[in-house]
């Protein structure tokens, strides 16, 4: 089992697949939300798919004001309505907050 886990960390999909077409073909089997969750922390994949932060904002129809850790607010883009105000930890809602 240890051998498999060591190999798993050595696998790099970007080195083994170089074509944008093949990447898009592989990712076509995933939903849009799953793709964005995979790509959000990988700058190289964002560049291959031509995705930037504005794309994420348009897809979610929300924007965040505040820090990744600490207090923050989430607003709806179309009406600037406050959706959530509260604490964040590692970029996700945590602890007390108002919906």
DSSP state letters, 40-99 = TT-HHHHHHTT--HHHHHHHHTEEEEE-SSEEEEEEETTT--EEEEEEEETTEEEEEEE-
Q: How many CB atoms lie within 10 A of CB 38?
A: 12
Q: How many CB atoms lie within 10 A of CB 50?
A: 8
CA separation for the pair 65, 70 (Å, rounded)? 11
The pTM assigned to this predicted structure is 0.52
Q: Are 48 and 38 in contact (CB under 8 A)?
A: no
pLDDT of residue 64: 77
Instruction: Give the pLDDT confidence of 38-81 residue by residue, as tens digits.
Output: 887 788 888 888 888 788 778 778 777 877 777 888 888 888 88
Beta bridge pairs of residue 86? 72, 97
């Amino acid at each position: 089992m240890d051998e498999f886990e060591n190999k798993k960390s050595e696998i790099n999909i970007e080195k083994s697949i170089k074509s944008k077409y093949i990447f898009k073909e592989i990712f076509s089997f995933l939903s849009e939300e799953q793709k964005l969750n995979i790509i959000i922390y990988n700058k190289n994949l964002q560049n291959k798919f031509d995705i930037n932060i504005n794309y994420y904002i348009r897809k979610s129809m929300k924007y965040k004001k505040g820090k990744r850790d600490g207090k923050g607010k989430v607003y709806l883009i179309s009406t600037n309505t406050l959706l959530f105000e509260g604490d964040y930890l590692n970029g996700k809602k945590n602890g007390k907050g108002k919906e």
